[in-house]
Amino acid sequence: MKGERRSMYRFSRSIYREIAPYVIEDDHRTNGCSNRQRVLDACEAAMRRLAFDRRYFARPARSLFGEVRTYFPINEQLRVYKVIERNVELALEHLAHLPPGGIGLDGQPTACRAHTRKGTPCQRTPLPGRDYCPSHKHLEEPLDSPVVEDLNVLAASGAEAPTGAGAAA
């Protein structure tokens, strides 16, 4: 299973190899960390988060680009965004083809995302296709909740969303 975890680094390294020649080098290094190293670290962190937390990582390409865009000249930023977007799409396709079993990319069994009353992480196995075990399934956020649907209807009609203490009730 270690090969699967390393396979995600091929996407971050691919992004880095394609965009590294366009990085603006920092002549005034104060902490010894060059801009290229910062770009590589950002690419690896984004791929790591995509692998382990993709359900809660909306717009990974946009997020990564927002983090690294300051290291590139303005005339190269479109190229950089397209490289990032293409490689993130490839990584998502790769993750979609992995078996949905109870083993994560790190080779460890998946665990419930909730915490116990004592503050320790829950060790139970989550329900298939879910992030929480049967005891904590009430914590799962449904994507089609009535509050979200109400806000979508308000947005479509042009009305403002309610605010205040009773807005979600």
* pLDDT, position 99: 64
Q: Quote the tokens at residue 165.
A: 């203490």
Q: Is 104 within 8 Å of 118 (Cβ atoms)? A: no
At position 138, the amino acid (one-letter code) is H
* pLDDT, position 146: 53
The CA distance from 162 to 118, in Å, is 36
**One pLDDT digit (tens) per residue for the chain, 169 residues:** 344 456 678 899 999 999 999 999 877 666 656 899 999 999 999 998 888 777 778 899 999 999 999 999 999 999 999 999 999 999 988 888 776 655 555 555 677 778 888 888 887 877 776 777 887 877 777 655 454 555 555 556 655 555 555 555 4
Q: Is 107 within 8 Å of 97 (Cβ atoms)? A: no
The CA distance from 8 to 74, in Å, is 28
Non-local (6+) Cβ contacts of 100 within 8 A are: 128, 129
Domains and their CATH numbers in the chain: 2-96 (1.20.1440), 111-164 (no CATH)
Q: What is the CA radius of gyration of the chain?
A: 20
